[in-house]
Structure 1
Amino acid sequence: MSQNWGPLYTLEDLKPYKIGIARDYAYQPEFDKATYLKKEPARTLVLNLKKLLSKRVDLTLEDEWVAKYEIANKLKEAEGKVEFIDNALSENPLHFVVSRKNPNHETIVKKFNEALAALKKDGTYDEIKALHGF
């Protein structure tokens, strides 16, 4: 859906839009507190994407990788019909977690970090992302 969004720099810039959100999901605190925004809750991202395609909401919020995965696997009719706005509402790092109760937790974390660094260094990481549309 192509639309000239213009610059979106603050939450105030979202005031004119109806925003699809996931019910019971915690967004950044400032967004959650912004009662002046028109937020339309739905149970899942897929439902929000369907609302977006049917023009019942103007935009929806989701991690770009998660959204692309959901579109590719659950809502193919949305492929090529949505666009991602460059400036994110927020960026949250993902972390790999291992229980400290696992007697090998330090080794697992160390080997994971080494393998990830090697994948990034030799270009495999970017190839994998590209293969899956990221």
Structure 2
Amino acid sequence: MPRLHRALALVGLLLLSHHACAQKLRLVADAWPPFTDSTLINGGLATDIVTTALARAGYASDFEQVPWARAMLGISEGRYDVLINAWYAQERTHVGQFSAEYLLNRVRFIKRKDAAIEFDNLQQLYAFPVAVVRGYAYAKAFDEDGQMQKVPVHNFAMAVRMVAADRVKLTLEDEYVARYYLARESPKVRNAVEFLPKPLSENSLHILVSLKTPEHERIVAGFDREIAAMKADGSYQRLLKAHGM
């Protein structure tokens, strides 16, 4: 009997080990600091929040950083389980299941502190040159407005330096992204600019779990439950603070 017990125990351990391996989720995202970037602490703010919530829900995970198109293709084909940083789009529901919102992206205008500029609608800004990053989508209304004086630049750092130097009157960026890069600017630039109060647009950030992943509904439910619990127990806010937000 002792041998039988040992054999059964060994089988049980093997089954548990197999189950644990089966529950290891393959996470993917593109490089989008401060949200997702393999060079940042714990892969960035969004990666840290997502992996923490999934771990609390009982899922181990591996993270791979690839270009956006490859990440989306991998989710649709089932080569990845979880896309970390997805804005909601109806067409994406055909390849994955969205979680509830776990972060909110606000695109906001940035001006010099001494500039008397107000923003309630785009028409108020027609007189002001606005530095925009080439190829970047900000918000449909802004992107398609032909009366805005858009000045193309290579990146946000160049745009905000132009605002600080009064070479353009405005730029715009997701607030988290802007704060991340402003923290790395010189005090002369950082202290010369400020956000306009009203955001241009808001987009909720979600995980997208591949429909080809077994138990994708349970994964989303567990993630949503743990995000709510993290907000309640203060650990969510501590992660924001740890990433300088």
Do structure 1's residue 75 and structure 2's residue 185 form an aligned pair? Answer: yes
Shift of 1:133: 4.0
Distance 2:127 2:137 in 1: 22
Q: Once the two structures are aligned, what percentage of the paired residues are identical? A: 36
Distance 1:131 1:26 in 2: 29
Give structure 2 stretches of 5+ with no counterpart.
1-111
Q: TM-score, normalised by structure 1?
A: 0.83
Aligned to 1:29: 140
Do structure 1's residue 54 and structure 2's residue 201 form an aligned pair? Answer: no
SS, match of residue 96 in structure 1:
strand
Do structure 1's residue 8 and structure 2's residue 122 form an aligned pair? Answer: no
Q: TM-score, normalised by structure 2?
A: 0.49
Tell which has more relative contact order, 1 or 2 (C-alpha 8 A, sep 6+).
2
Do structure 1's residue 20 and structure 2's residue 131 form an aligned pair? Answer: yes
Shift of 1:128: 3.0
Shift of 1:86: 1.0
Shift of 1:129: 2.6
Give structure 1 stretches of 5+ with no counterpart.
none
Distance 2:180 2:164 in 1: 17
CA-based RMSD: 2.1
Query: In terms of Rg, which structure is larger?
Result: 2
Distance 1:79 1:29 in 2: 28
* 1:74-133 superposed Cα distances (whole Å, 9 cap, x missing partner): 435443332111101111111211222222422322222112111111223233334444
Shift of the 127–82 alpha-carbon distance from structure 1 to 2, 3 Å rule, reads farther
Do structure 1's residue 45 and structure 2's residue 152 form an aligned pair? Answer: no
Distance 1:79 1:7 in 2: 20
